[in-house]
Structures are given as structure tokens and as C-alpha cells.
Structure 1
């Protein structure tokens, strides 16, 4: 049996297994992160898949129309291609199924030479104050250097990347004091120092530490 044939058989087996497991739907949300939901065939539960490899199984709840899955922390409500999901005491986030969007399109963003703006750090969404500049970073491919804005100060440093491994080195910032942004800056720089690998899902970059925990989530924008 050739390697190519073995690969095709493995792919077919994986597809069949997923079909038995349920329907996997990619959702694009008004606020990050984007999510995936695996709906069980029997409708008794749905698995919420978050960036960073976090899977949460949610049991079905009574719903007048459409669907409702949830537990004490997460809730999914929707109908057809539209979905609202809630985390903790946060406001519901509107999402829509990414119908017709190819995996190639979803993975089009490159790690390097992309403007990545901060969306979540330390498990908390980043919500800028009025007029606050957005924290971001760029991994420059030619210089093999990282530069960006940490929340109050400009930051720079080195990085090493191979396959899905990513480590930042000698992260430094300027020394200006700010009324807003210092807490974000501290959390952001600590997240970079802890990063051991990364994952790109669509336009979201998830930074992950050595234990597999998410340190930060950033969203892609064309380089400015």
C-alpha cells in the first residue's frame, strides 16, 4: 500500500468518524474569538471548541425554537446559521456560520509580517478605554525581531520560531508611565515571556505556554 493511498484512507476514516460524531460548524463572531461548535447527531449535547484547544461539552437545554446548549459558565443559543454565545456574566456575542469559506482562506494569515492586535490576555478580553491606543505586535521576518505597542509603551524584542514553536526573547519596553494601559502592558509582556508555541485559526493568533494554556489571543490586520 502506497503512502498516498494510506493518507487517503486515513482522511476518509477521519471524515467518517466526524460524520458519526456530529456536525462541525465554524462561526465568525462580532467579537473575538471565533469559535467552532460540534453538534451531536442525537442533539443531546454540543461541544464548544475555543482557540487554544479548549473543548467544552454543553448539554442541551429547553428551547422554544432553534437550539440551546449550556452549563453554569457557557451558553449557546441559535437558529439555523445564526448563534449567540455567552461566557460567564459577559454580554451575548453574535456569530454567523462561515458557510462556503474554505480552510485555505481561513489559514491565509501568516505569523510573520502581520499586524496582530490584542484581543484577549490572561483569559480576559481586552476592552480599550476611550481613545486608548490598541496593543499589538508585528514579527518582522527580515530582521527576525518583534516590535509593537504593549498598552502604554512601545515594545521590542527577539523571537525564535520553528514549526508551531514560538519563543520571545529580551522583551523590553520604553519607560513612560500612563494612567491607562499599565495593567494591560504587564499582562501582555508576561504572556509573551511565557509563550512556547502558537496556533492560527482563521484571523486569530493564539499564544500558548509550555503547559498548553492560552496566554493571549490576537487578531490579524493587514500590516500598517
Structure 2
């Protein structure tokens, strides 16, 4: 008779270990064109990674990140154009700006949900976190981290894995190593954004091209 009780208790504990924070607030905006929406969701999934950091059965941090590849940048700009009904001249201007930035920096959008917001301190000089971009060529640390603030409907329109109580960040990495070699060598299939601290480690893996 004891075994069923033990099983029920264990299932109860495991059910408390969730992989996403509770969904609160309005749904993220979507495009009326279902095929365009599916295509965007597919490209977000390709260039994004998601992980959690646990303390036993409790989740300390939920994290998601998207590498701003040229393909993703174009998809994001065209999604913005659809939402805002932008003229083609403006779209071409935005695409040119995105291409220029992509040549200078490897940029990620990072979204995090912390159970204790004291630890959402990536942009502080004395942050508890070490972020690194890990590739077949080695690893590099950020040259710049910008706190974008709480994720709102605008954020969620482009990064749908974020939620109402998430915080968004821009994380910049160099494109070349100290020896002049590219950080992401040609032909690289996947890269990893690693975030590590005394709270734990998360490695967010995504496509590189």
C-alpha cells in the first residue's frame, strides 16, 4: 500500500518543476497572415535558445536568447514593416542599417525572468553573472550590455518566448578574436550563449546561420 502513496507524492513534487513561468497578461501580437506568422515563429525558433536554472524543484531563472543573424534581422524588419505598414523605402533603409551593424558586432536579444529581481543585474559592473559567446573558435565576453527594461507587448511581438515579468537585454560581442580570426567561423552550425553565476549555469544553444 505504501508504493502508490510514494508514487503520488513523487508525482506531486515533479509537477512543481515547470519549464515556463506562469502566463500572465495579454497574448503577444501576431500577424493576420497565418503563413507569414508561422514563417516568423519558425525563424525565431531557429535562432533562439532557451534554458532554466533550478534550485531543486524551484526555478531561479528562465532565459531565452536570439542571435541577430542577417536572416533574423531581415525577418524582424519585415515583421515590423507589416505591423507598421512601412513604405518600401523605409524598409530598405532599416535593412541597410541592420546589415551595417551585423558587420560590426554579434548581437543577441536576451530575455530573462528572475524569481528574485536583485539578480537581474547583467549590466552592472559588479554583476554576479559572466556571459560568454562560445563557438568552435573559442569564447568571448560581451563588449556591451544594455538593459532594455520590462518586456511589453512590443517586445513580445518579436520575441514571443518572453512574458509580462521578463526583462529584455541587448548583449554585444566582438566579431573577431584577438588574433584576427572570426569569432563565428564560416560554416559554423551552432553557437552557445552561456550565462553562469553562483546561482547556476545556463547554456542557450541556437543556429549560427
TM-score, normalising length: structure 1: 0.26
TM-score, normalising length: structure 2: 0.27
More strand by share: 1
More helix by share: 2
